[in-house]
Amino acid sequence: MENRAQGFKRKMKTRHLVMLSLGGVIGTGLFLSSGYTIHQAGPFGTILAYLIGALVVYLVMLCLGELSVHMPETGSFHSYAAKFIGPGTGYTVGWLYWLTWTVALGSEFTAAGLMMQRWFPSISVWIWSAVFAALIFFFNALSVRFFAESEFWFSLVKVIAIVAFIVIGAGAIVGFIPLGHSEPAPFFSNISNSGLFPNGAFAILMTMLAVNFAFSGTELIGVAAGETENPSTSIPKAIRTTLVRLILFYVGTIVVLSALLPSQSAGVLESPFVAVLGRIGIPYAADLMNFVIITAILSAANSGLYASSRMLWSLADKQTISPIFAKVTDRGVPINAMICSMLGGGLALLSSIIAPGTVYIVLVSVSGLAVVIVWMSISAAQFLFRRQYLREGNDVKDLAYRTPLYPVVPIASFLLCLASCIGIAFDPTQRIALYCGIPFIAFCYGSYYLTQYMKKRGKDYVESTEAESH
């Protein structure tokens, strides 16, 4: 355990923590696939789905807040799951979360390379993917402070772009900013014309999964807890501000997109943002948005490499995988864990080219389901932690940050996450997540208990031979 004492540096401030969390969340989900969600559930249904999604995330964050303020650890939630649910669950949660971000790395580098094709059609996507991968590795490998600072500026570009988009869009909706081709101001006719639930209320349950995945990344606040200055004040503040901003950004964006784009055409468009800015007649709108989307993708990759390397370090620190991954440089960076996570991202990238219909679809499905399972483990761990805390004769008032309305909050967040997992079974395109996810989870549990059994056998053998020699 000496690594923790000499290794990680508490260099992150609240502003870094908030931007890290936003950086993980505001990615391609908002910029590219929001049009698909509107197409599926209709404008009103989409707004409702995002509000429900925000509620689920908020409840999970309230649970994580209590745990990470009381026990600020790097790569936290697998430690909480191991301590309060069971060591096998902790091990499985660690690997699921690592897989989530490693697969994301592969798809983000490809996406960034594809977006560069707009300006440099003659340069192959591979070259760009490699350049971006090297850049992100460099940002993470220098120091925690450098990583946090680069993520802060990456995220800031996205936040400014979204705020500007909402302001310009709102102006166009009410007629302050004239639309191109002298079109009249639409106000909210697009939203009211398409009815409350054009494809039925059940479509909301289908989109809920996409919405949950869109919000994944908020839990990075917990991963970074061990490298944060004053976690008892920084973490609660980051949780509050992140959620308020998420709701404003996501719901504000969806309202603007829905009002300015008919939902029939929303799903077909490559980026709904470009279409809206084009309608308003903003010059170079597509190029501007292309730049913002590349920044968004790189920011999500930056957060992803950070999260996956910290999770691997944490598994090694708990002595459940090789101690090689627990090695930390003088600047407080778990370099071996980072190299392994980057290689995992490279393999995910290769599988997306070589076997997109088999290996890659399995990876994406498992990683999508993994986020929701990680959230369930956070809710369950907080529920069990509080029970144990009180059983030991402690007073709730002594907790620096308390999850309100206990036990309602952890139970509600657990059940809402469970409902979205059950929803997967009814969607033929997402059902594969259960078919691949459940065996993967069983494999993690099996490998944990098998390695522990082998370790114990080895230890017993050594002890018995020593006894005989005496």
pLDDT at 134 over 80: yes
Q: What is the 3-state secondary structure (H, E, C) of 262-301?
A: CHHHHCCCCCHHHHHHHHHCCCCHHHHHHHHHHHHHHHHH
What tokens appear for 175 in the block? 């007629």
Backbone phi, psi, residue 430, to 5°? -105, -5
Q: Which residues make Cβ contacts (< 8 Å) with residue 260, sequence separation at least 6? A: 169, 172, 173, 186, 190, 276, 279, 280
What tokens appear for 66 in the block? 């209590």
Q: What percent of the chain has pLDDT over 90?
A: 29
Give the Cα separation of 395 and 34 in Å (integer): 45
CA neighbor of 108 nearest in space, from 42, 28, 35: 28
Judged by average pLDDT, the poorest of 37-41, 57-61, 273-277, 408-412 is 37-41
Residue range 141-155: average pLDDT? 87
pLDDT of the residue at 270: 60
- Is residue 40 within 8 Å of residue 267, measured between CB atoms? yes
Q: In which band, very low, low, confident or very high, does the pLDDT at 80 lie, cut at 50, 70 and 90?
A: very high
pLDDT at 421 over 50: yes
Give the Cα separation of 31 and 139 in Å (integer): 24
Local structure of 316: helix, strand or coil: helix
Residue range 346-355: average pLDDT? 83
pLDDT of the residue at 6: 45
Strand partners, 228: 12
Give the Cα separation of 401 and 383 in Å (integer): 14
pLDDT at 196 over 80: no
Kindly report, residue by residue over 14-50, the tens digit of the pLDDT. Answer: 888 878 877 777 776 677 667 777 777 888 888 888 8
pLDDT of the residue at 1: 35
Highest mean pLDDT among 76-80, 94-98, 144-148, 329-333 belongs to 94-98
Per 3-state DSSP, what percentage of the chain is helix, strand, and coil (rounded to 5)?
80, 0, 20
pLDDT of the residue at 4: 44
Residue range 422-448: average pLDDT? 86
Kindly report, residue by residue over 305-317, the tens digit of the pLDDT. Answer: 999 999 999 899 8
pLDDT at 258 over 90: no
Please tell me whether the peptide bond between 323 and the residue prior to it is cis, using omega within 30 degrees of 0: no
